[in-house]
Amino acid sequence: MRLNPAMEMFWYLVCALAAPLCSARDDFFGSTRFPNEVPEYDLLHAIGVPFSNPKMQYFDEGLDGFPAYGLKPGSDIKSPYRLFMPEKLYAEFSLTATVRPANKDGGFLFSVVNPLETVVQLGVQLIPSGPGLTNISLLYTDANIYALSQTIASFVVPSFARKWSRFALRVTSDNVTLFLNCHEFDTVTVRRNPSELVFDSASTLYVGQAGPLIRGAFHGAFQELKLYGSPSQAEVQCINNFEEMGKGSGSDEIDIDNFLVDQEDGDLEGSGRFESIPPFPPPPPGMDVSLLQFDSSICKLE
């Protein structure tokens, strides 16, 4: 059964609000309920709502009006990594991000740091790299072997300070490929050692920083930050994003901006914009249509 986009939207919202009932994903402890499903970890779940540090955290408006989380240096988002990440990393995986840095300074989008807080075992860092350029670096370190964080792949791209940008890293056994704003940007050949990184069990997941000892707090907004247990999710980042699903239907496209904005009254200025909306997962779901339809049918079971 194929639902039209408006119905899909409706059922998505129903499912999102009734998550315990309808969610097809179990982010905690990474289990997935359906064997064919790609394991998906939403790292933004480490940012709890209500905010733990409201002075350093804010709601923002993302691409297509989706809500997003803003972090300022000092937001100190951290969690035992095991709550939001797999015990060990997949031999091949994808990382997807939709972010808007508030400035050119870059910083860590996220990191999994060893218990001594000295080594980034897995992380993505933005580094200013000359005028108008940003270096997107993937850090991947076996903390049993290295005392310093290892950057295994980096890509120099036009700076996207103050601009919403999507990017994804596809990590296979041989290569790391960057997709930037829905286009394949570049590939570097990387042999990772070990191929399946085992995190120290007392590691910490940080969002927007890499802990108190390693510098590089990020100031900016996040709409999406996910780890997938499959390399193929990187290239479908833009297709999977929900707003893309209505595409092709032309004028029937759903105006999700109005959909969300209609629920609040007035104040469209500033960072408090979404404060009146009840806790709602801000990133668009990385669902594909078939999954969505599956969800819809669950939701409609009598």
Binding of ligand NAG by 91 (CB under 6 A): no
Query: Among residues 165, 240, 192, which one has the least CA distance to residue 88?
Result: 192
Nearer Cβ to ligand NAG (136/221): 136
Cα–Cα distance between 38 and 52 in angstroms, integer? 31
Q: Which tokens hold the place of 260?
A: 């969300």
Cα–Cα distance between 231 and 210 in angstroms, integer? 24
CB of 104 to ligand NAG, least distance (A): 15
Cα–Cα distance between 239 and 157 in angstroms, integer? 22
Binding of ligand NAG by 186 (CB under 6 A): no
Binding of ligand NAG by 175 (CB under 6 A): yes
- Binding range to ligand NAG, per CB under 6 A, among 57-65, 82-90, 114-122, 151-159: 151-159
Window 101 to 130, contacts with ligand NAG (CB under 6 A): 127, 129
- Binding range to ligand NAG, per CB under 6 A, among 22-30, 167-175, 236-244, 251-259: 167-175
Query: Among residues 235, 281, 241, 288, which one has the least CA distance to residue 95?
Result: 235
Binding of ligand NAG by 230 (CB under 6 A): no
Cα–Cα distance between 248 and 154 in angstroms, integer? 35
Binding of ligand NAG by 149 (CB under 6 A): no
Binding of ligand NAG by 184 (CB under 6 A): no
- Binding range to ligand NAG, per CB under 6 A, among 150-158, 214-222, 285-293, 294-302: 150-158
Out of 57, 75, 134, 137, the only residue in the binding site for ligand NAG (CB under 6 A) is 137
Residues 6+ apart with CB under 8 A from 249: 4, 5
Helix (H, G, I), strand (E, B) or coil at 23: coil
- Binding range to ligand NAG, per CB under 6 A, among 59-67, 168-176, 238-246, 289-297: 168-176
| Termini Cα distance of the chain | 17
Cα–Cα distance between 137 and 157 in angstroms, integer? 11
Nearer Cβ to ligand NAG (6/213): 213
Query: Among residues 40, 38, 20, 18, which one has the least CA distance to residue 29?
Result: 40
Q: 41 with 27: CB under 8 angstroms? A: yes
Out of 23, 79, 150, 154, the only residue in the binding site for ligand NAG (CB under 6 A) is 154
CB of 139 to ligand NAG, least distance (A): 8
- Where does this chain bind ligand NAG (CB under 6 A)? 127, 129, 135, 137, 151, 154, 156, 172-175, 187, 189
